[in-house]
Structure 1
Amino acid sequence: MKTTKSNTFTILPNTKIFIQQGDPVFLGSPYAKIKAFLEEQYSYKLLLNIQKKSQVIDEDREENAIYFILSDKVCSGEGYQLCITPKTIKIIASTHVGQYYGVATLIDLIMNQGLRLNEKVLDDEPYFKHRGVMLDITRGRIPKLSYLKEVIDVLSHYKVNQLQMYMEHTFQFSFMSEASMGKDGLSSMEFMELDAYCYERHIELIPCIATFGHLYELLKSHSFKHLCEYENFNDEHFSWMNRQMRHTIDCMNPESLELVRQMIKEITPCFRSKYLNICGDETYDMGKGRNKERFTEIGGARLYVDFLNQILDTVIEHDKIPMYWGDVILQYPEYINEIRTDAIPLHWWYEATVKEADFAVFERTHRPYYSCPATAGWNHFMNDYKRAYSNIDKMIEYGVKYNAAGILVTDWGDFGQINHLSTSLPLLKYGAKKAWNPSAKPADRLFDKSYVEMLEDIGNERVVTWEHLMKWFYGRYHNDFMLGDITNEFQGLKESLLLESYDRLEVLEERVSGIAPFYNGSISDDLVEVFCDIQGMKWMIEFVRVIKEERTDAKLATTIENWFMDYEDLWRKRYRESELYRIREVIIKLCSFLRTNI
């Protein structure tokens, strides 16, 4: 009988894992990662073994075994070699981080091919040394620690090595209780717990705190309102639009710098990272209030750069490397070389069309900078996938062309953070893959093909968004037209356009129901959130039809109220209470309008 030699390796229940003497074994170690995966997915309980000195030579290695080998002869840094033969699997790297990423690739192969793996040798290393993600935890919702850890596990699997969580008032500073109370922020102890969790998974948790612009809650408080550039700001009604716009600190008041110094002093010990992002973006009101005369005298660039450098100096005093958003200095490119040379600008731009010339500005400084795309999920229930793909692709392409030091994919939650983080995760994964390998093909974005394609289709239904509705809401009830009067835009929407979008959303509801039985675990929870998102998009279309026809609709009010109770349950499953109450207040008012037209 003739037998054919197999060119595959099959992982069996008795497959052994061999590590080297002295290799650390902890939850985030590469061996623990593959061991836990096989136990969870296949109930395999593989044993860890210590390699003998004689097993350094291939011929002396046991068959049907997975070997972890530290060697600087293959790949450096975070790179690795994954070698699959009919007898063994070898994961070779110069560091345990490289081995960890090799395991991530091995797991991906198993997910695609099963336990019978084709023979291959894969040499792999990252293009960008710094591959980060930024999560907004200040605009309305704050994930529970348990959910944050789930997300961190996902990010580490996709070889993300930096994580920032954007904060304004949601770090519980000891001296900022008036601004933080009732917002469910994270304590210093909780951040230290997350920092340790990230560290074990080879992610650097970087503090990211607003210190110049975007200080709405802080500067509205009685304790610190005297430090606001905009003098009458604290007397205005709350709106998500006001929170976004009027919140810049008085950069000429010595107390302002002292406050920022306190913030930096208190936050730095909670993170082992060598970096601190002080933000410094969108200082819309600088020089428009208390410092109007000074602005006229010396100009906005001088005001901005002088105060920014004082903040950066403070970060350096605490032995950290400062980062800052680069949007304001792009308005004054001739001043960029006056900013500290050891500070890292973060160049963000979130549109589908990207300005290539902006990258040249940062490259000419010959200093490290990051390119920062976004997931395009804010202000709506579902991300604009088409826009996000284009933005991520271009921002990384130009990051390569103009020698960016790193990539930071951002996820924002403007207007109350109505959007669930789960619908951004496929885009964060996509950005991570592109940061590791910028030449990755577009098809690589389809991780769970049917699921992601469905999200893309839902994202195309943006006839009415949450931002549209909030512009109408604040205009009607607060005479606030800061971002324009949308009433005429609503009246101009064709009935056929609204109804066609509604019908497509109903079909998409059926698609969610159709694929749901094939998923379990966290993605099953994600699908429930997606179903809720679609229902939210449907009632917004119906609400606009009511506005256009100037009628009441008590039945729609009941539909929205029942929907919102489901939305609250979903929110509380993964997130703290945070500012859910603000969305509830809006929903109550919208439903009252539907019943009374008042």
Structure 2
Amino acid sequence: MNGQTPLQGWTIVPTPQTMQHKAGIALLPMCGRINEARAAGDDRYILAAQLIDDIRAATGLEWDIATGDRWPGFITLTILDNPHAHPSGSYTLDITSDGVTVVGADFEGVRNGVQTLRQLIRQCGAALPCLHIEDQPAFETRGYYLDVTRGRVPTLDWLKTWADKLCLYRYNQLQLYVEHTFAFDGMSETWRGSSPLTPKDILEFDDYCAERGLELVPSVSTFGHLYMALRTQSLRDLGEFPESADEPFGFIDRMRHHTLNISDERAFALSTKLIDDYLQLFRSDKFNICADETFDLGKGHSKPLAERIGVAAMYADYVTRLCRHLETQGKQPMMWGDIALEHPEILEQLPEEVILLNWQYDPQVTDEKIRTVAESGATQIVCPAVWCWNALLPRIDDAWNNITRMARYGAQYQAQGMLVTDWGDLGHVNDPRMAIPGMIIGAQEAWNPGRVPDEADMLRRISRLEYHDASGELLDILARASHAACFQWNHLVTWLELDDGQDGVNTGVLQTIQGLLPENERPDDVIRTLQNESRTPSLAESRRILLRYLKHHIALGETADHLLQTSARRISAITATAGPRIAGNAAAFRVAIEGQRTLNRVGLRLASEAGVTGTLQSCEAIQHDDAANLAAALEIWMEAYAAQWSMTSRDSELQRLQEVVFRVADHLRSASRVQSVL
């Protein structure tokens, strides 16, 4: 049959293009063998080993591996005799009572068929349904983009775990976003204290990815987003605004600018050093120079050049030089497309070989910018997001809407592929395990866009396959819990960083308040206050403006607490039946939910202190939530959070997150003491 896998009992993600169910069950032998042809290109028989591991976990049985025509196996992995007649990555899977056969067009095809078989083994154990699958991907490139620089540097073990998961869901590319968290020679001032990745890490991880059919593509910021580098004594003179180098560290400030002054030729030398040093560690023939959000370009030290030739020409000339530099070394350049789309004339000036990474994260995104790049003739990859940044709980609804739309537009305008992004703005407070639902949605849409009818069906599939939840309800509960995030991590960071550290107001942070809410939720009266203020308000006034702006969200905190408590109970009950296989996810869910409950309470308390009126005045939570107890709750939660951090990540910037929490705890106790005196 064509269409959906029945949800009774088992599911496959991504959904195959064509699947025929047949009568009967294939029972795996007690002492079985996997025969993997050498022609498959899997020199270390990693694919056969994956199957053996899953068979052992699901059945307790031990199987053997062999190759050649004298060692038949119940499971056969082989490659087509005429692979060029079929698309790369395509495969067939036949399960009969006599045996199981995976035939791929190439190594990637065999790998993809094996992943489908692994999913069935995980759900059905030794009793597999008889069926015939013919399958191929919609997009040539199905990539994942993981932030390893804005606060959280994963351990190598976790990176391997993530690569295994990407492999299971048939991704074929991975990029790690790096600004300063790599141990470049001669640049210790930039990466010190960040728990950086090392050349050995990359070499080992590159091998690990390649063996699982993942191309590890190097990606380094070479133009904008150089906050840590441009704060150093050695490199600060290369920034557009070197005078800002000594300003106190700020999570929000790190996101806003910090662009190279490209009118200084030393800037190009720095960019090419980063490129040349890094690319030698990867087998990929591609390199992502990033070059996004160069907000400062032409506004600081390079302003004279901008006045002479224009910002668009400056940008186009510089990225073209970087692309040509890569091409001389046999590498295909990739770069983010946002600046070129802001100045469409740049599209006509870029080298033909460059791949534009067209990122659009709006859940209601339109096709306008994808169409613009397609009409220019440039090669593009569409880039949606898993929607986890700045928050403890994943915004799964937003991820679904964003990813499905971008996949549809990508297919419509014949994009080369899709790259699903996973960012860690403001310290990467989001646990990487929270990105799993969005990652799997991305896998589905990159392989077979539009096949799953709706979000509810997709979440049931993921709940059953990934989290072993027979009810299929887990992710729906988690998605609903995220709607109860009334006072979020980015709200708390904004409240803190309005303080410029010198008893004044950080006006740059003040300007970001309006962007904290979608346009249709922004209170007009507060916006008018922000726009019409003829002077810089005091710190207390600025914080009051922020809390008034968020008032209607904060006021829901008391009601939201009931939803979060209920969600925690229901998720705990579901995950308990899944056994130890998802214990880590269960802990991550619990810590995130309890953390959001505590943040909601903090928002209510801060709003009360600031005299934000209305429904907050009569809030029972404020009346009964002692500030000292709330401070203690924050600190206790942070201990649990830090323990979970260490499950996936190096120390990196955990201390910065702790400082945020401890500063708020200190404020609560201090404010409580002042009020008691009054």
TM-score tier (shorter):
over 0.9
Percentage identity across aligned positions? 29
Are 1:450 and 2:444 counterparts?
no
The answer (yes or no) to whether the contact 2:39–2:79 under 8 Å persists in 1 is no
Q: Whole-Å Cα distance in 2 between the matches of residues 311 and 49 of structure 1?
A: 47
Report 1:285-364 matches (<5 A).
Answer: 285-364=296-375
**Paired amino acid for 1:41:** A
For residues 539-592 of structure 1, what are the alpha-carbon distances to aligned partners after superposition, in whole Å with 9 as ceiling and x for unaligned? 111111111221871111111111111111111222100011111111121111
**Secondary structure of 2:299's partner?**
coil
Q: Whole-Å Cα distance in 1 between the matches of residues 115 and 481 of structure 2?
A: 30
Q: Whole-Å Cα distance in 1 between the matches of residues 636 and 37 of structure 2?
A: 58
**Paired amino acid for 1:508:** S
Q: Whole-Å Cα distance in 2 between the matches of residues 73 and 439 of structure 1?
A: 30
Query: 1:384/1:96 Cα in 2 relative to 1: closer, same or farther (>3 Å)?
Result: same
Q: Which stretch of the first structure deviates more once superposed, 367-376 or 410-419?
A: 367-376
State the 1:30 CA deviation: 2.5
**Secondary structure of 1:461's partner?**
coil
Q: Whole-Å Cα distance in 1 between the matches of residues 445 and 328 of structure 2?
A: 35
The answer (yes or no) to whether the contact 1:360–1:402 under 8 Å persists in 2 is yes
The answer (yes or no) to whether the contact 1:323–1:344 under 8 Å persists in 2 is yes
The answer (yes or no) to whether the contact 1:423–1:455 under 8 Å persists in 2 is no
Query: 1:444/1:541 Cα in 2 relative to 1: closer, same or farther (>3 Å)?
Result: closer
The answer (yes or no) to whether the contact 2:312–2:345 under 8 Å persists in 1 is no
**Secondary structure of 1:364's partner?**
helix
- Which segments of 5 or more consecutive residues in structure 2 lack a partner in the other structure? 1-21, 464-471, 514-541, 611-625
State the 1:474 CA deviation: 1.0
For residues 424-468 of structure 1, what are the alpha-carbon distances to aligned partners after superposition, in whole Å with 9 as ceiling and x for unaligned? 012112101211111330323431233322321222223211111
State the 1:400 CA deviation: 0.3
Q: Which stretch of the first structure deviates more once superposed, 275-284 or 22-31?
A: 22-31
For residues 169-226 of structure 1, what are the alpha-carbon distances to aligned partners after superposition, in whole Å with 9 as ceiling and x for unaligned? 0111112110100001101111111000001101010111001110000001010000
Report 1:114-153 matches (<5 A).
Answer: 114-153=125-164
**Secondary structure of 1:416's partner?**
helix
Task: Give the equivalent residue in structure 1 for 2:287.
Answer: 276
The answer (yes or no) to whether the contact 2:36–2:45 under 8 Å persists in 1 is no
Report 1:386-465 matches (<5 A).
Answer: 386-441=397-452, 442=454, 443-445=457-459, 446-448=461-463, 449-465=472-488
**Secondary structure of 2:357's partner?**
strand
**Secondary structure of 1:493's partner?**
helix
Are 1:473 and 2:496 counterparts?
yes
The answer (yes or no) to whether the contact 2:486–2:553 under 8 Å persists in 1 is no
**Secondary structure of 2:225's partner?**
coil
TM-score by length of 1: 0.94
Report 1:184-583 matches (<5 A).
Answer: 184-441=195-452, 442=454, 443-445=457-459, 446-448=461-463, 449-476=472-499, 478=501, 479-480=505-506, 481-484=510-513, 485=542, 487-491=544-548, 492-493=551-552, 497-521=556-580, 523-550=582-609, 553-583=627-657
Report 1:21-170 matches (<5 A).
Answer: 29-52=46-69, 65-72=74-81, 75-170=86-181
The answer (yes or no) to whether the contact 1:135–1:411 under 8 Å persists in 2 is yes
Q: Whole-Å Cα distance in 2 between the matches of residues 297 and 375 of structure 1?
A: 41
Q: Whole-Å Cα distance in 1 between the matches of residues 433 and 281 of structure 2?
A: 27
Query: 1:539/1:21 Cα in 2 relative to 1: closer, same or farther (>3 Å)?
Result: closer
Q: Whole-Å Cα distance in 1 between the matches of residues 148 and 258 of structure 2?
A: 18
The answer (yes or no) to whether the contact 1:6–1:86 under 8 Å persists in 2 is no
The answer (yes or no) to whether the contact 1:126–1:435 under 8 Å persists in 2 is yes
**Which of 11, 14, 24 pairs up with 1:7?**
24
The answer (yes or no) to whether the contact 1:379–1:413 under 8 Å persists in 2 is yes
The answer (yes or no) to whether the contact 2:495–2:546 under 8 Å persists in 1 is no
Q: Whole-Å Cα distance in 2 between the matches of residues 494 and 227 of structure 1?
A: 42
Query: 1:286/1:558 Cα in 2 relative to 1: closer, same or farther (>3 Å)?
Result: same
State the 1:346 CA deviation: 0.3
State the 1:520 CA deviation: 3.9
The answer (yes or no) to whether the contact 2:143–2:172 under 8 Å persists in 1 is yes
Query: 1:390/1:27 Cα in 2 relative to 1: closer, same or farther (>3 Å)?
Result: farther
State the 1:416 CA deviation: 0.6
Query: 1:146/1:126 Cα in 2 relative to 1: closer, same or farther (>3 Å)?
Result: same
Report 1:587-598 matches (<5 A).
Answer: 587-597=661-671
Q: Which stretch of the first structure deviates more once superposed, 335-344 or 9-18?
A: 9-18
- Which segments of 5 or more consecutive residues in structure 1 lack a partner in the other structure? 56-61
RMSD: 2.1
Q: Whole-Å Cα distance in 2 between the matches of residues 216 and 97 of structure 1?
A: 39
Q: Which stretch of the first structure deviates more once superposed, 34-43 or 571-580?
A: 34-43
State the 1:261 CA deviation: 1.1
Query: 1:468/1:522 Cα in 2 relative to 1: closer, same or farther (>3 Å)?
Result: farther
TM-score by length of 2: 0.83
Q: Whole-Å Cα distance in 1 between the matches of residues 112 and 190 of structure 2?
A: 41
Aligned residues: 586
